[in-house]
């Protein structure tokens, strides 16, 4: 099978590999689509360097097969698997999604939402799951601010907060204003013209790297600031140092400052499936790239030109 292979940080190429065999608790998928997000770029480049110490592999990537978000068809069942059968259409996360076949643990798979294409389904797991976990405590009637609302996580964040009955304000650059509005945001700030105003019960920060003091000022006294991520030019710690400072500051301030470390689990993907099937959430896929152009797809996301989500189709 054709697959993207990465032997060291910063370089990957397509090669011919044997189709993998599913182990216990795993299934083999015929991959139909693979989602791309900022995390894909980080794992490919090994930047910021701090992540190499945090377990992604010091000298080179621990997993030589990039691509995590996946949607496809179960073609073989590993020992002990009862959750899925051959022919089932699923979505979730795996290692090596930029390939014709991939093995995925059933603990990270759910049934593909009815009415969603494989392309749309592959856009959901990491970005949708991260937004869902970041918005856990939102109650109906609360005011929610989503920074980076036109990006992968943000585009799900706006819709999930709306589904919970919140008043949602999105922040993005000019090109993304229409998208964020179409996702249901009650208000949209184009930060290239004027930065956001107001106070919020929960701030989901998916982009922009604003100082913690700025975020706390925009938060109600008992509000929550969820730091999802921020891209900086720094190769050493990237946007992580701000999140680490938030953790250190948290015990001393009235607001709750959270460094989000999202997890990938079948029950989270099932929760997203329910929201999608209810019509509350629809993945905003801007563009697809064929498998041989997977590296261009990753570069497109890194360039910040993407609106919502980008998907590689197989
Ligand atoms: N903590 C976790 O578990 C977790 C999980 C997933 C992702 N992440 C991280 O979260 C971040 C977002 O991920 P993503 O996949 O959503 O990336 P993305 O698709 O690139 O979206 C990020 C958005 O940030 C926006 N942005 C940049 N500068 C901004 C500013 N000054 N104000 C407001 N928005 C600004 C960009 O939009 P504009 O073009 O509008 O500027 C972009 O749309 C990344 O750093 C990623 O690594 C963390």
pLDDT at 107: 98
Q: Name the residue with the closest Cα to ligand 1, atom 25.
A: 148
Q: Name the residue with the closest Cα to ligand 1, atom 12.
A: 206
pLDDT in tens, 241-282: 899 999 999 999 999 999 999 999 999 999 999 999 999 999
56-60, 77-81, 233-237, 254-258: which range is least confident on average? 233-237
Round to whole Å and give the CA distance between 268 and 221. 30
Q: Name the residue with the closest Cα to ligand 1, atom 4.
A: 228
Query: What's the mean pLDDT when you consider all of the chain?
Result: 96
Check if the beta carbon of residue 141 is closer than 8 Å to that of residue 151.
no
Superfamily of domain 128-259: NAD(P)-binding Rossmann-like Domain (3.40.50.720)
One-character DSSP codes across 86-155? TT-EEEEE-S--SBSEEEEEGGGEEEPPTT--HHHHHTSHHHHHHHHHHTTT--TT-EEEEETTTSHHHH
**Percent of all residues in the chain with a pLDDT value above 70, rounded to a whole number:** 100
Domain ranges of the chain: 2-124+283-313, 128-259
Whether 128-259 and 2-124+283-313 are alike in CATH topology: the answer is: no
pLDDT class of 230 with cuts at 50, 70, 90: confident
Mean pLDDT of the region 108-126: 98
Q: What is the CATH number of domain 2-124+283-313?
A: 3.90.180.10
Mean pLDDT of the region 94-123: 98
Question: Ligand 1 atom closest to Cα of 243?
Answer: 1
Check if the beta carbon of residue 266 is closer than 8 Å to that of residue 26.
no
Say how many Å lie between the CA of residue 129 and the centre of ligand 1: 14
Mean pLDDT of the region 163-189: 98
Question: Ligand 1 atom closest to Cα of 154?
Answer: 16
Tokens coding 9: 């940080």
């Amino acid at each position: 099978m054709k697959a993207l292979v990465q032997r060291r940080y910063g370089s990957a190429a397509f090669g011919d590999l044997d189709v993998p065999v599913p182990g216990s608790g795993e299934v083999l998928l015929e991959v139909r689509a693979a989602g791309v997000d900022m995390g894909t770029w980080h794992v490919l480049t090994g930047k910021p360097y701090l992540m190499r110490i945090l377990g992604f592999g010091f000298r080179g990537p621990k997993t030589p097969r990039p691509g995590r978000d996946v949607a496809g068809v179960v073609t073989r069942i590993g020992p002990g698997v009862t959750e899925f059968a051959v022919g089932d259409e699923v979505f979730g996360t795996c290692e090596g999604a930029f390939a014709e076949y991939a093995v995925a643990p059933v603990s990270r798979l759910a049934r593909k939402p009815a009415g969603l294409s494989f392309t749309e389904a592959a856009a959901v797991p990491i970005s949708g799951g991260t937004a869902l976990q970041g918005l856990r405590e939102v109650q109906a009637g609360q005011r929610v601010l989503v920074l980076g609302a036109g990006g992968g996580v943000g585009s799900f964040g706006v819709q999930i907060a709306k589904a919970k009955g919140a008043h949602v304000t999105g922040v993005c650059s000019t090109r993304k204003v229409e998208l964020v509005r179409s996702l249901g945001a009650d208000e949209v700030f184009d930060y290239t013209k004027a930065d956001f105003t107001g106070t919020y019960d929960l701030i989901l920060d998916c982009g922009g790297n604003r100082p913690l003091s700025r975020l706390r000022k925009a938060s109600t006294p008992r509000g929550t600031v969820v730091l999802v991520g921020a891209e900086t030019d720094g190769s050493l710690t990237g946007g992580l140092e701000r999140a680490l400072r938030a953790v250190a500051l948290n015990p001393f301030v009235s607001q709750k400052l959270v460094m989000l470390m999202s997890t990938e689990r079948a029950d989270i993907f099932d929760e997203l499936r329910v929201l999608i099937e209810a019509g509350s959430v629809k993945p905003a896929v801007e563009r697809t790239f064929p498998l041989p152009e997977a590296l261009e797809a990753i570069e497109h996301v890194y360039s910040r030109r993407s609106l919502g989500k980008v998907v590689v189709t197989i």
